[in-house]
Amino acid sequence: MKAALIPWRRSLESPFVYAALMHILGADKGMARLVGEHLKIRPGEKVLDVGCGPGRLIPYLPAVDYVGLDNDRKYLERARSRHPGQLFEMVDVSAQDGWCERSDFDVVVASGLLHHLPDAAVRRTIAYCHDRMRSGGRLVTLDCAIEDGQPLLAQWLARADRGRFVRPARGYLDLVRTVFPTATLTIRNDLLSVPYTHAIIACGKP
């Protein structure tokens, strides 16, 4: 099965294929729900989108001071072409690579990022996010999860994901809590039009 998934995963390296798949799966409505029900971003806030990909978050935001970070050149080119008024930087945050001068963000978002990273890289990424936030700022992460009793299609889709470190929801929470001890977990099964499990973690910086 793993060998059969390799061409599928490689096809998702294309931002066009990725965007088309997200549309088919109903992820646009899911992103709107994430913003409205979990991020709750207010106009004028400073937002850091870590692992921004092609900039899928931007259409659902109010007028904010936005910065997107990613280490995939193709995705950043797509983001810049679709959102020319926004700032995007090529940064590998899991290696704490560059772009460290700001620490004033109200909201840091890591959507669909942590399941691409091994445990040590997740801890470095969360520490990076912590250091970019102002006191009183908040971090929200979203990732696919594998859970006991979930529909077979949800489990198959999670295992077929390009990310090689899909975890149970509690696994993400335990990693985030190494930096944010009071982080909370919400499991959503309704953010796509097909059976799928998302783990959403929210935390704040004192």
> Comparing 94-98, 159-163, 172-176, 180-184, which segment has the lowest mean pLDDT?
94-98
Average pLDDT over residues 26-40: 90
Tell whether the model's pLDDT for residue 9 goes beyond 80: no
Question: What is the reported pLDDT for 18?
Answer: 58
CA distance 103 to 128: 10
Average pLDDT over residues 29-57: 95
Question: What is the reported pLDDT for 128?
Answer: 93
User: Could you tell me the strand order of the sheet in which 105-111 lies?
Assistant: 87-90, 65-70, 46-50, 105-111, 133-144, 198-204, 184-188
Question: What is the reported pLDDT for 15?
Answer: 55
> Comparing 25-29, 71-75, 101-105, 125-129, which segment has the lowest mean pLDDT?
25-29
What band does 206 get if pLDDT is binned at 50, 70 and 90?
very high
The structure's pTM equals 0.88
What band does 53 get if pLDDT is binned at 50, 70 and 90?
very high
Tell whether the model's pLDDT for residue 71 goes beyond 80: yes
Query: In the numeric block, which tokens belong to residue 57?
Result: 């978050």
Average pLDDT over residues 186-201: 95
Mean pLDDT rounded to a whole number for the chain: 89
Average pLDDT over residues 171-199: 96
pLDDT higher at 96 or 156: 156
Beta-ladder partners of 145: 167
CA distance 153 to 142: 19
Spatial CB neighbours of 70, under 8 Å, sequence gap ≥ 6: 51, 52, 53, 76, 79, 88, 90, 91
In 3-state terms the chain splits into helix, strand, coil percentages (rounded to 5) of 40, 25, 35
> Comparing 50-54, 80-84, 97-101, 132-136, which segment has the lowest mean pLDDT?
97-101
